Amino acid sequence: MALMFLNGGAMRGGPLHHLLDGAPLVAETATAPKYRFYSVGDRCPGLAPVAHGGAAIEGELYDIPMDVLRDRLMPAEPPELELGVIELADGTSSFAMLLRRPCTSHAELYDITESGSWKAYMDMDVHPDAGVEARTDARTDARTDARPAARTDREKTS
């Protein structure tokens, strides 16, 4: 069994919750305030660790059997995300899906940290459009190590 922090479609009531195959909910919780939170093209959320300017993001903690994680949950994750370890609000660690570095997708990243949760963001009447003010260069907000950064819009090709 593995503790897994979920903050998107696999949470209770979400379209991917059935993939948990009955894994027990341990707690409603939040991350430590060390993350920025992004909408990946309004398809899924992505956490990104930051050295400064992070916030606590709400989610659910599950005790997931490793075979369910391997065979059901991981294959359903989008290519923009990767498995990582995060710090929870109580200082403990958990698996979670993080924004992949470098970002290999052409999907727009919208910083939705202020919403505090994917559900709160999805309940908003208006989502960011592709305007310049809504775009976020994840390199400046999420990069905390020497890994290559995401490409900017100017560098993306069609």
Cα–Cα distance, 67 to 31 (Å, whole number)? 25
Buried b (16+ CB within 10 A) or exposed e, 4-13: bbbbbbbbee
Structural domain contains residue 44: yes
Q: Tell me the β-bridge partners of 81.
A: 99
Q: With residue 119 as reference, give the H or E element that holds it.
A: helix 118-122
Structural domain contains residue 27: yes
- Mean pLDDT estimate for the chain: 82
Q: Tell me the β-bridge partners of 44.
A: 40
Q: Contact, 84 vs 95, CB < 8 A? A: yes
**CATH assignment of the domain containing 79:** 3.10.490.10
Structural domain contains residue 155: no
pLDDT digits (tens, 9 = 90+) for 86-111: 999 999 999 999 999 876 666 788 99
How many structural domains are present in the chain? 1
Structural domain contains residue 68: yes
Domain that holds residue 43: 2-148
Q: What is the pTM of this model?
A: 0.78
- The neighbour count for residue 143, using CB atoms within 10 Å, is 19
For the segment 65-75, the average pLDDT, to the nearest whole number, is: 96
